[in-house]
Amino acid sequence: MARPRAEQVAGQRRQRIKFGDPRLHMTIDPATAERFKREGLVPRWVNDDKGRIEKLQMRGYEFVRDPSREIQAGEDSGNTDMGSAVSKIVGRTEGLEGKPIRSYLMVQRKEDYEEDQGVKEEINAKVDEAIRRGEPGGPNMSAVKEKGGGTYVKNIEYQP
């Protein structure tokens, strides 16, 4: 039995995002994500503001480059960077100038990423432990207290 025409063309039609559907703007396509995973790389979108790119490059991040997406005169391939670094414009700066804020796709080796995450987790564990001990300022609060500083917590008596 022949399939109805609607079923035949349904597979050929491009997928359309309906108005109101949630969209994930800063994602990468599944094939690229799988390629990064096979190569042992962890991707991340990084905004180019306040020297962030340079700091991350010193920590081992590299630009994702794709010369085939390079913008030529009058051609829009989805990449908004004039070079081969994959990027998107994600906003505008405040003020009258309203310069574009660009976010670049960068990758880091998985070993370096896991090492960084371990360091972050150690810091988080110290903060959690300080909170459990009743030090709301975290592990660095002892230095503040030595200089005569501290936090203010109003003493409120409980009245049922």
* pTM, two decimal places: 0.62
Pair type for strands 100-109 and 87-92:
antiparallel
For residue 32, the model assigns a pLDDT of 85
pLDDT for 3-40, tens place per residue?
666 666 555 666 666 777 666 667 788 888 899 999 99
pLDDT for 96-151, tens place per residue?
788 888 889 999 999 999 999 999 999 889 888 888 887 766 556 555 556 555 55
Kindly write down the DSSP assignment for every residue of 103-125, as one continuous string. EEEEEEEHHHHHHHHHHHHHHHH
Annotated domain spans of the chain: 24-109
pLDDT of 86 > 90? The answer is no
Contact between 105 and 87 under an 8 Å Cβ cutoff? The reply is yes
